[in-house]
Structure 1
Amino acid sequence: MRLTRKRFCSFLIALYCLFSLYAAYLVFFGHRSRVPTATSRGFRKGAAPARERRGREQSTLGSEEWNPWEEDEKNEQQHRLKTSLQILNKPKGKTDHSIQIWGKAAIGLYLWEHIFEGLLDPTDVTAQWREGKSIVGNTHYSFLTGPSVVPGYFPIDTSNVVLVLNGREKAKISHATQWLFFAQTLMKTQKLQHLAVVLLGNELCDNDWILKFLKKNGGLVELLFITYDSPWINDVDIFQWPLGVATYRNFPVVEASWSMLHDERPYLCNFLGTVYENSSRQALMNILKQDGNDKLCWISARQQWQPQETNVSLKNYQDALLHSDLTLCPVGVNTECYRIYEACSYGSIPVVEDVMTGGNCGNSSVHHNAPLQLLKSRGAPFIFIKNWKELPAILEKEKTIVLQEKIQRRKELLQWYQHFKTELKIKFTDVLENSFLMNNKH
């Protein structure tokens, strides 16, 4: 009897063990196929930076998002994913495929945030040190800026450098020269191998001070990207660079919205700026008043230039761009001005005074389209005029244009501007990589 009970108990224990093993199998192996794949999770994570980038200027434009280049962005994301996978599969270690950009002029922010569409950490524009990273093809780009970026007090992670400098006036040139001498010292100690310069040039194109630093003249600067219609531009080692928006006045990266494209704009045109006595700007103001068009446009003229921007003045200016069909762009010291690019950011058609200013700009047979050679060569959809006396007829025609035509025109301008920046990025990176990375010493 005892033997029978023992056998029965042993049978129950064995049955329990078998059931436990079966249950464990179901828990750990039975539902594996239902778990989401790592690839799908990866795509969700990859979407986060794009959402962050698109949200940078929603406070001004409203909460709705509109993306006229959605198909292009999808293709670009697929290309970036493929490139990222290629980079991850490469053996780790120091690579020559890296370029560091030192932003020592505000124009560097236009290069990084507007053309590269790169982010900066921290986001605070008053921070002493800001940096960002971006990958273009197989090349790693890093960007450093801020008052704490001073010669000898920051890490140099690559032998390939782009130096962004301000050469507009004497004090700025002195500061820029110090940076070039610093780069010269690094090259002598073989810490630096290749150097390019992005230069905010003088508005009269008086930039002779940098000639001695060019490689073809025995210096160290292999490539020069310079603003305005300089007669030096040859598209071999000297290239024209856009003035861009006034990042020094904190003009932001603007993302297009549905309302920006479709809403009726209450003003025919706008001009907010300094009016100098006996200038074409004064003539513009007189012409607007003669026909009463100043009442139909957002006009805010001041007699003295004010370099500082307040939150209120910046918002007023952005509102004027957003709520005007046309933005009037009279010449200053130079024909090219920040206002042209800022108007493009908001889909407001620039009406540009197409005349050469004084100085040494464009005085070359290669500049047959000067002024604004860079913009014209890329088919800028602006309204170019030679005299502000042409404006009344333009405004009369503007009054007859229906909203649907204006929507199409805005879309074309916004798409052109995006394409313009993309083309610049491709050309900039191609020129650097062909000059720097193909010729690195081994």
Structure 2
Amino acid sequence: LEFIYSSLYNLLVDPVALLKTESTLGSEEWNPWEGDEKLEHRHRVKTSLQILNKSTKEKTDHKVQIWGKAAIGLYLWEHIFEGSLDPPDVTAQWREGRSAVGRTHYSFITGPAVLPGYFSADVSSVVLVLNGRERAKASAAAQWLLFAQSLVRARALRHVAVLLLGNERCDNAWLAPFLRSRGGFVELLFVTYDSPWVNDVDVFQWPLGVATYRNFPVVEATWSMVYDARPYLCNFLGTVYKNSSREALMNILKQDGNDKLCWISAREQWQPQETNESLRNYQDALLRSDLTLCPAGVNTECYRIYEACSSGSVPVVEDVMTAGGCGNASVHRRAPLQLLKSMGAPFIFVRSWKELPAILEKEKTMNLQEKIQRRKMLLQWYQRFKTELKLKFTNILESSFLMNNKG
């Protein structure tokens, strides 16, 4: 079974084949990477799926319910699992979805009506998606954990994992007592940012993803996204804080006049609310720019990185460790964005925005064909990134929960 999973995974993430299957980035009417190997790849995937289904047919299916009580859960479900929700209305009080990966059947529930104690857990394994970014959010998340703990004690649940939108400074101490390694009941933790807790044993780093809380959508590739010339060298739409590297970035752009060649829309105060117009402008900026500038905020990792990837705009990332408790000096020398780097993100990393003028000068010399190839590579990598995370997430749950079921 492990060999079959591995073979199927290799097919799914093959750099050539991945770009030639409609389910990745196109449709039956148009596929920007359609080629001679398309039918052969489709046959190989179909055969591997048949073998996988046959080998697991007589085995007991594992059921996992995901309680989505943070917007990052929508990134997991809609972007990584490529699952749908019923009803599709994002304002609905209760939304559900189902998906199967290997031996595991997942159900996902989310919405304001999903409250502790007001619904029944009809499975023995649960993943809680929680928001612990701020003190008030962490307090609400703790109530969910106490609810789950009561179900474990009543033997209504056997296994609990947590996917946490963590604190930007990696201050997640409130969660520690709930972890099994610290005497609690939570067996697995998937956490955002470069938390020093990450050990790839029971704590795993998870991507921040796109800002689903601001309704950033799943973006499907189009012909124009891949092949059209983009009128702007770069873009930055966001908040510019006083005495920050973002302020330095704006000054550098103005000095060389490159701000006139880029889509720049800076504001002095953060605006959490997204309107249809502002979201449309932001998406247009991504789609019409070759590069997306990603200066560090409170944390180096930001939603903008993933949103740029989904639009084929190469992220230019400020590669500096921000203040706080993130990073693991003994393992990573406090280098940020370990998950993205370990998975070979094809970004442009800068230690200082003083490097930007040279980068933009190089952009001016690139021809359209070179940029098209780079977009293909970025879109291909991002799809492979999500596919690998999906398999990793499932394999970790199966190896932990199923093994413990037997024990």
Same fold (TM over 0.5): yes
Take 2:384 and 2:116, find their aligned partners in 1: how far apart are those partners?
A: 36
In the alignment, what sits opposite 2:4? none
TM-superposed CA distance for 1:121, in Å, is: 0.8
Structure 2 CA distance for partners of 1:112 and 1:205, relative to 1, 3 Å: same
1:397 matched to 2:379? The reply is: no
Deviation readout 1:94-149 (Å, 9 max, x if unpaired): x5611111100000000011111111111111111111111111211111111111
Measure the CA separation in 1 of the matches of 2:45 and 2:311: 23
Tell me the secondary structure at the aligned position of residue 371 of structure 1. Answer: coil
Corresponding residue for 1:430?
Answer: 395
1:332 aligns with 2:259: no
Pair 1:257–1:76, CA change in 2 (3 A): farther
Maintained 8 Å contact 1:354/1:385: yes
- Other-structure match for 2:75: 110
Aligned to 2:198: 233
Between the aligned partners of 1:195 and 1:68, the Cα distance in structure 2 is 41
- Identity, in percent, stands at 73
Instruction: Give 5+ residue unaligned stretches, structure 2.
Output: 1-20
The 3-state SS of whatever aligns with 2:329 is coil
> In structure 2, do the counterparts of structure 1 residues 401 and 52 end up closer, same or farther at CA, with 3 Å as the change threshold?
closer
Provide the C-alpha distance between the structure 2 equivalents of 1:415 and 1:261, rounded to a whole number of angstroms. 11
Residue 124 (1) aligns with residue 92 (2): no
Which residue of 2 is the match for residue 19 of structure 1?
none
Q: Does 1:261 align with 2:226?
A: yes
Pick closer, same or farther for the CA change 1:228–1:74 going to 2, 3 Å.
Answer: farther
- Which residue identity lines up with residue 222 of structure 1 in the other structure? E
1:242 paired residue among 188, 207, 214: 207
Per-residue deviation, 1:256: 1.2
TM-aligned CA distance change 1:73 to 1:112, over 3 Å: farther
Distance 1:77 1:155, change over 3 A: farther
CA distance in 1, matches of 2:50, 2:93: 33
CA separation in 2, counterparts of 1:434 and 1:84?
Answer: 19
SS at match of 2:293: strand
CA distance in 2, matches of 1:209, 1:359: 16
The alignment's C-alpha RMSD in Å is 2.3
For residues 372-422 of structure 1, the C-alpha deviation after alignment (integer angstroms, 9 at most, x for no partner) is 000011111000001111101110110000001000100000001111111
With the length of structure 1 as denominator, give the TM-score of the two structures: 0.82
Q: Which residue of 2 aligns with 1:185?
A: 150
Give, in whole Å, the separation in 2 of the partners of 1:52 and 1:198. 27
Stretches of structure 1 lacking an aligned partner (at least 5 in a row): 1-49
Q: Which AA in structure 1 matches 2:85?
A: L
The count of residues paired between Structure 1 and Structure 2 equals 383
Please give the secondary structure, in 2, of the residue aligned with 1:120: coil
Maintained 8 Å contact 2:25/2:31: no
The 3 A distance-change label for structure 1 pair 106 and 68 is farther
Residue pair 1:284, 1:388 contacting (<8 A) in 2 also? yes
Aligned partner of 2:108 in structure 1 is: 143
- Contact 2:328–2:334 at 8 Å: present in 1 too? no
Distance 1:410 1:171, change over 3 A: same
Query: Secondary structure of the equivalent of 2:331?
Result: coil
Give the Cα–Cα distance (whole angstroms) in 2 for the partners of residues 205 and 152 of structure 1: 30
* Larger deviation, residues 400-409 vs 153-162: 153-162
| Contact 1:230-1:240 within 8 A present in 2 as well | yes
Deviations 1:235-277 (A, max 9, x none): 0000000000000000001111121111000000000000111
Kept in 1, the 8 Å contact 2:61–2:103? The answer is: no
User: SS state of the match for residue 162, structure 1?
Assistant: strand
Kindly tell me: are residues 78 and 131 of structure 1, through their superposed partners in 2, closer, same or farther at Cα, counting changes over 3 Å? farther
